[in-house]
Each structure stands twice: as structure tokens, then as C-alpha cells.
């Protein structure tokens, strides 16, 4: 699992990125990609910030699951599974909506995102070739369509087909609360777009 960081350590790290252009207004999400990258496991973290203060931490994955890596990517792109380029800011990337028209989520209907294409059909997510910017439907969502109270308490360990490149959390209860805020923020026009920053695990 990703090591623990203080807010200050994370803020200092993201400020060092070449793509840093100031902290977004409102809330934004920071993904931290595990150096261990255990195949098909939710071993990354998402930190939700408001300004420079972290308000929520969720476990999840920034990598595709084994279903997609081994051949499932052919349904989406014959060149390979989408692996989001890390150590980069993606300003105004997401907007609240419905993933596959049925799950409250943050959808990539804002800015472009950069992805590598991993097409070697093994279990390891790799940054192969050059990153390509575009609109690939790289959304932020959770790993269930079942919103019963009992099911939301489950914290599944395996990614499987839940990520074909999307940034996915398995912290379902926290996710529900998170999405309530973004839904309300959009309705009240408090915040329309959400910025994402993805970094690799680092030595503080």
C-alpha cells in the first residue's frame, strides 16, 4: 500500500510538477500511485483537497484491472489498456454526472488527459510508448452499482473489470458522501469542474 503522507508533504510534491499552475478553486482530487503496484489490487490512494487542506482519503486504483490488461482492452482500443500518465496535473478534467448512465461519478467531459497504451497482455500496468492526450472517458467512480447499505460497507480487494483506465475507489461509503457534495455543488453552481492530479509514490 502507499505510504502515509502529511498534507504538507503532498502539497510540496505537487507544487514541484512542471504542469503545476496554481491550486484550483474549490475541491480537487490527488491520486497517489503505489510503487509496489500489486497486480489487480486496490493499492493506490485518493486524497480529496479543498484548497491546500486534505478533507478525505480513499483507497483505490489508478491502474486497469487484470480483465482489461489481459485482453479486455480490445473492446475499447486495440493498442492497449489506458494507463494514465502520472506526475501531472489535469485541470478542469471532470464534471459530476452518471458513469454508464447509472452511477453517480465524475466524468471526463472537461480537459484532455494523457494515457499510455499497455497492450502486452500481462498483469502489470506499464507506461509503454509515448503518452497520448485525448478524451478517453477516464472517469472517477467506485466499484459497484448496488447502493444497498450492506453492500456499501464491502471493501473489495480485486479490481478485475472495474477499471479500463478509470480512476476507481473501493471505499464505497466514503465515495457516496463524496458524490453527494459534487452533485450539490453542480446544482447550486458552487463548482462545476473538478481538477485531478496524479503522482507516483515518493520519498518525502
Which residues in the chain belong to E strands, given as ranges? 27-33, 44-50, 53-61, 81-84, 88-99, 103-107, 113-118, 132-134, 140-142, 167-169, 193-200
Q: What is the pLDDT of residue 1?
A: 76
Residue 84 dihedral angles phi and psi, to the nearest 5°: -65, 135
| Contact assessment for residue 84 and residue 113, using Cβ atoms and an 8 Å cutoff | yes
103-114 pLDDT per residue, tens:
999 999 999 999
Q: Is the pTM of this model over 0.85?
A: yes
30-72 pLDDT per residue, tens:
999 999 889 999 999 999 999 999 999 999 999 999 999 999 9
79 pLDDT more than 80: yes
81-100 pLDDT per residue, tens:
999 999 999 999 999 999 99
Question: Going by C-beta distance under 8 Å and a sequence separation of 6 or more, which residues neighbour residue 198?
Answer: 30, 31, 32, 33, 62, 84, 85, 86, 87, 88, 90, 167
Tell me the C-alpha to C-alpha distance, in Å, between residue 22 and each of 90, 97, 109, 195, 197: 12, 26, 21, 11, 12
Q: What is the pLDDT of residue 37?
A: 87
CA distance 8 to 41: 27
Amino acid at each position: 500500500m502507499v505510504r502515509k503522507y502529511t498534507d504538507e508533504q503532498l502539497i510540496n510534491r505537487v507544487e514541484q510538477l512542471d504542469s503545476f499552475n496554481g491550486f484550483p478553486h474549490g475541491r480537487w482530487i490527488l491520486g497517489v500511485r503505489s510503487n509496489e503496484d500489486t497486480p489487480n489490487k486496490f493499492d493506490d490512494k485518493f486524497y480529496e483537497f479543498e484548497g491546500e487542506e486534505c478533507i478525505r482519503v480513499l483507497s483505490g486504483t489508478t491502474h486497469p484491472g487484470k480483465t482489461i490488461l489481459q485482453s479486455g482492452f480490445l473492446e475499447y482500443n486495440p493498442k492497449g489498456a489506458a494507463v494514465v500518465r502520472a506526475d501531472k496535473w489535469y485541470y478542469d478534467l471532470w464534471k459530476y454526472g452518471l458513469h454508464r448512465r447509472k452511477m453517480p461519478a465524475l466524468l471526463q467531459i472537461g480537459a484532455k488527459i494523457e494515457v499510455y497504451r499497455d497492450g502486452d497482455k500481462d498483469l502489470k500496468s506499464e507506461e509503454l510508448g509515448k503518452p497520448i492526450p485525448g478524451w478517453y472517458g477516464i472517469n472517477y467512480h467506485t466499484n459497484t452499482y448496488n447502493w444497498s447499505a450492506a453492500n456499501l460497507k464491502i471493501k473489495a480487494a480485486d479490481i478485475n473489470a472495474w477499471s479500463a483506465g478509470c480512476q476507481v475507489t473501493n471505499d464505497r461509503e466514503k465515495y457516496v458522501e463524496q458524490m453527494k457534495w459534487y452533485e450539490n455543488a453542480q446544482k447550486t453552481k458552487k463548482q462545476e469542474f473538478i481538477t485531478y492530479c496524479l503522482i507516483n509514490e515518493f520519498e518525502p
